[in-house]
Amino acid sequence: MHWLDTIGGDIAMDFRANPATLANAIPRAIEENGSTMIADTTAITARRERAAEVGTVFDAVVVGAGFAGMYMLHRLRGLGFSARVFEAGSGVGGTWYWNRYPGARCDVESMQYSFSFSEKLDQEWNWSEKYAPQPEILSYANHVADRFDLRRHIVFDTRVIAATFDEAAKGWLIQTDRGDKVAAKFCIMAVGCLSAPNRPNFRGLDDFRGPIYHTGEWPHQGVDFTGLRVGVVGTGSSAIQSIPIIAQQASALTVFQRTATWSVPAWNEKLTPEYLQAAKADYPALRAKARARPTGFYFPFNTKPALEANPDDREQQYEEAWARGGLPFLGAYGDLLFEKAANDTIADFARRKIRGIVKDPVTADLLCPDNVFGCKRLCVDTGYFETYNLPHVKLVDISRTPIERFTADGIEVDGVEYRLDAVVCATGFAAMTGSFDKITITGRAGLTLSEKWRAGPRAYLGIASAGFPNLFMITGPGSPSVLASMIQAIEQHVDWLADCMGHMRDIGAASIEPLAEDEDAWVEHVNEVSKVSLRSTCSSWYVGSNMPGRPRVFMPYIGGFPIYVQKCNEVMTGGFSGFVLEGAPVGNAAPEVRYTERWRVPLDIDVISPAAVAARRVPVV
Residues of this chain that interact with ligand N01 (CB under 6 A) are 105-107, 194, 198, 200, 215, 233-239, 241, 258-259, 377, 398, 403, 426-429, 482, 541, 546
- Least distance (Å) between residue 427 CB and ligand N01: 4
Dihedral-angle region of residue 462 (phi above 0 means left; psi in -120 to 50 means alpha; beta otherwise)? left
Residue number, 200 or 575, with CB nearest to ligand N01: 200
Contact 28, 36 (CB under 8 A): no
Contact 414, 272 (CB under 8 A): no
Residue number, 429 or 522, with CB nearest to ligand N01: 429
Which of 39, 126, 143 is CA-nearest to residue 505? 39
Helical packing angle, 561-573 and 486-507, nearest 10°: 0
- Least distance (Å) between residue 259 CB and ligand N01: 3
Residue number, 54 or 239, with CB nearest to ligand N01: 239
- Least distance (Å) between residue 556 CB and ligand N01: 10
- Least distance (Å) between residue 401 CB and ligand N01: 11
Residue number, 286 or 423, with CB nearest to ligand N01: 423
Give the max Cα distance, the chain. Answer: 81
- Least distance (Å) between residue 258 CB and ligand N01: 4
- Least distance (Å) between residue 398 CB and ligand N01: 6
Residues 6+ apart with CB under 8 A from 336: 306, 330, 342, 343, 346, 373, 374
Residues 6+ apart with CB under 8 A from 601: 288, 291, 292, 562, 565
- Least distance (Å) between residue 251 CB and ligand N01: 23
Distinct helix (H) and strand (E) counts, the chain: 20, 22
Which of 294, 160, 306 is CA-nearest to residue 565? 294
Contact 102, 248 (CB under 8 A): no
Length of the chain: 621
Across-strand partners of 217? none
Residue number, 9 or 551, with CB nearest to ligand N01: 551
Q: Compute the distance between CA of residue 308 and CA of residue 321 in angstroms, rounded to an integer.
A: 17
Residue number, 222 or 273, with CB nearest to ligand N01: 222
Residue number, 428 or 456, with CB nearest to ligand N01: 428
Residue number, 63 or 403, with CB nearest to ligand N01: 403
447-474 in b/e burial notation, b at 16+ Cβ within 10 A?
Answer: bbbeebbeebbbbbbbbbbbbbbbbbbb
Residue number, 65 or 403, with CB nearest to ligand N01: 403
- Least distance (Å) between residue 129 CB and ligand N01: 13
- Least distance (Å) between residue 229 CB and ligand N01: 19
Residue number, 236 or 591, with CB nearest to ligand N01: 236
3-state secondary structure of 394: strand
Which of 208, 212, 235, 518 is CA-nearest to residue 368? 235
Q: How far is CA 333 from the centre of its chain?
A: 26
Contact 424, 103 (CB under 8 A): no
Residues 6+ apart with CB under 8 A from 30: 36, 37, 39, 585
Q: How far is CA 248 from the centre of its chain?
A: 31
Residue number, 215 or 317, with CB nearest to ligand N01: 215
Residues 6+ apart with CB under 8 A from 284: 119
Q: Compute the distance between CA of residue 396 and CA of residue 412 in angstroms, rounded to an integer.
A: 11
- Least distance (Å) between residue 423 CB and ligand N01: 12
Residue number, 39 or 490, with CB nearest to ligand N01: 490
- Least distance (Å) between residue 261 CB and ligand N01: 6
- Least distance (Å) between residue 260 CB and ligand N01: 9
Residue number, 240 or 612, with CB nearest to ligand N01: 240
- Least distance (Å) between residue 249 CB and ligand N01: 19
Angle at 381 between CA 321 and CA 353, to 5 degrees: 55
Nearest residue to ligand N01, scored by beta-carbon proximity: 236
Contact 280, 591 (CB under 8 A): no
Residue number, 237 or 343, with CB nearest to ligand N01: 237
- Least distance (Å) between residue 149 CB and ligand N01: 28
Beta strands of 6-87 (E only): which ranges? 29-32, 35-38, 56-63, 83-86
Which of 8, 79, 88, 2 is CA-nearest to residue 446? 8
